[in-house]
Amino acid sequence: MKKSLRAKFFNKRVLIVEDDLDVADAIKYIVESLNALYKCTIVNDPYEALLDLADREYDLILMDQEMPGLYSSDMLKKADHFMENDADFITGRGAKPIPVVMISATEKTENLPLNFKNFIVTDYIQKKNLTHFLRQRLVYKN
């Protein structure tokens, strides 16, 4: 089987957008420990996430809801706009919406699912419940 075909069907790329690097490293460790098929990329700034989304395709985004500089839903709106209007954006082209999990220190504040053209916010999870949530969602999923 060709390497690119194997990566397409077996490896899952996860983008972690979190301004606290200790939290981001912990999330990456948990995700990659729970399911070896998941490979994580960490960015600690929402604008850096926009640039990363232009260069790489992702299967899942785990995102801090409140980051300095740009609220997460605003970042998704901007990414959605760029994906539709900028030929350099490769993520999401012709594919189903990318699932996004919002991570917050507080209770959820918006109704779900929160839909964009290229993203769908499927869950809000409090940081204190993150390990349990990831264990439920990632252990046996491909």
Residue 133 has pLDDT above 90, yes or no: no
Of 1-10, 83-92, 132-141, the range with the lowest mean pLDDT is 1-10
When divided into structural domains, the chain yields a total of: 1
Of 19-28, 66-75, 106-115, the range with the lowest mean pLDDT is 106-115
Residue-wise pLDDT tens digits, 13-47: 999 999 999 999 999 999 998 888 889 999 999 99
Confidence of residue 62 (pLDDT cuts 50, 70, 90): very high
In the predicted model, what is the mean pLDDT of residues 123-136?
84
What is the reported pTM?
A: 0.82
CATH code at position 74: 3.40.50.2300
HEC string of the chain? CCHHHHHHHHCEEEEEECCCHHHHHHHHHHHHHHCCCEEEEEECCHHHHHHHHHHCCCCEEEEECCCCCCCHHHHHHHHHHHHHHCCCCCCCCCCCCEEEEEEECCCCCCCCCEECCCEEEEEEEEHHHHHHHHHHHHCCCC
Average pLDDT over all residues of the chain: 80
Confidence of residue 117 (pLDDT cuts 50, 70, 90): confident
Residue 104 has pLDDT above 60, yes or no: yes
Domain of 47 in residue numbering reads as: 3-138
Q: How much of the chain exceeds pLDDT 90, in percent?
A: 23
Angle (nearest 5°) at CA 32 between 26 and 35: 135
